């Protein structure tokens, strides 16, 4: 999916949600997310699981070191499907942060899913949940951006200053945030937060154009993803696909 497709899909989601949406802030592996939502569809709805003693049993098993990871995942799914009992949410909340990375990420997804179910039930409003591999913050999604240099050389000190200044200026103009800017031999990368209702292409192209006013040293083509942080070999592979 290219940048325009991403933007159009997000615009469609915003329209459907009436401007009400929830963004998963944590960075969670996209394959794990797919597994989670596939299991959500498979597991029988847990609306009837509301008795306190039953919930207490589920929490006990969830925190038992002898319980298999696969069963813990199913318990978290069951709890997250309970729409009428806030205690189910609190059980997941207490569990988050107590396990290894994968299970903790699973619990984080379950917590978000549980919260949305509770809000939909008690507020009688449909909630939209937006999750990406890189997560987000407030009403912004996190992206990994790679800009190729026209010359196969490192940025000069003057060019580094231009990139830092002009990209910061443009990102601020679009209510966006640069979290990290890293420089390499023939490209530089940015991890940044961009509002969900702002065009990615518009922000990045504007920043490149502003920088290129001082020497035309950044290629007009660029890479952007919200799935994961790309490794060097992945970046070089994508450059070859783009012919740059």
Domain spans in the chain, listed from the N-terminal domain onward: 29-130, 136-242
Q: What's the pLDDT tens digit per position in 15-28?
A: 665 656 778 788 88
Instruction: Read off the pLDDT of each residue in 34-40 and give the average, rounded to a whole number.
Output: 89
With contact defined as beta carbons under 8 Å apart, do 130 and 13 qualify?
yes
Structure token digits, residue 141: 């999604």
Instruction: Read off the pLDDT of each residue in 204-208 and give the average, rounded to a whole number.
Output: 97
Structure token digits, residue 135: 């997560």
Q: What's the pLDDT tens digit per position in 89-121?
A: 999 999 998 888 889 999 999 999 998 888 877
Using DSSP's 3-state secondary structure scheme, residue 59 falls into helix
CATH hierarchy code of domain 136-242: 3.30.70.1290
This prediction's pTM: 0.77
- Give the phi and the psi of residue 222 in degrees, each rounded to 5: -150, 165
Instruction: Read off the pLDDT of each residue in 170-192 and give the average, rounded to a whole number.
Output: 95
pLDDT of 5 strictly over 70: no
Alpha helix ranges (H) inside 63-199 = 69-80, 86-95, 101-123, 157-173
Indicate the pLDDT class of residue 242, thresholds 50, 70 and 90. Answer: confident
Burial 39-78 (b: 16+ CB within 10 A, else e): eeeeeeebeebeeeeebeebbeebeeeeeeeeebbebbbb
With contact defined as beta carbons under 8 Å apart, do 96 and 111 qualify?
yes
Check residue 129 and give its pLDDT: 75
Check residue 47 and give its pLDDT: 44
| DSSP sequence for 24-37 | --S---HHHHHHHH
With contact defined as beta carbons under 8 Å apart, do 143 and 23 qualify?
no
């Amino acid at each position: 999916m290219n940048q325009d497709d991403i933007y159009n899909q997000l615009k469609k989601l915003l329209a459907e949600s009436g401007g009400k949406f929830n963004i998963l802030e944590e960075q969670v592996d996209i394959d794990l997310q797919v597994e989670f939502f596939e299991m959500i569809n498979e597991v029988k709805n847990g609306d009837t699981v509301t008795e306190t003693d039953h919930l207490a049993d589920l929490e006990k098993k969830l925190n038992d070191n002898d319980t298999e990871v696969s069963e813990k995942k199913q318990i978290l799914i069951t709890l997250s499907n309970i729409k009428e009992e806030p205690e189910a949410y609190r059980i997941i909340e207490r569990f988050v942060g107590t396990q290894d990375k994968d299970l903790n990420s699973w619990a984080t997804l379950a917590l978000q899913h549980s919260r949305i179910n509770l809000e939909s039930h008690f507020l009688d409003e449909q909630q939209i949940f937006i999750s990406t591999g890189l997560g987000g913050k407030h009403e912004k999604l996190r992206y990994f951006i790679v800009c190729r240099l026209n010359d196969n050389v490192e940025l000069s000190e003057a060019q580094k200053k231009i990139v830092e200044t002009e990209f910061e200026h443009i990102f601020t103009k679009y209510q966006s945030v640069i979290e990290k800017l890293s420089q390499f031999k023939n490209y530089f990368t940015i991890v940044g937060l961009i509002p969900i209702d702002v065009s990615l292409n518009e922000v990045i192209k504007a920043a490149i154009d502003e920088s290129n006013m001082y020497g035309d040293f950044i290629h007009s083509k660029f890479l952007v993803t919200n799935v994961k942080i790309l490794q060097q070999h992945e970046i070089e592979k994508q450059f070859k696909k783009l012919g740059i």
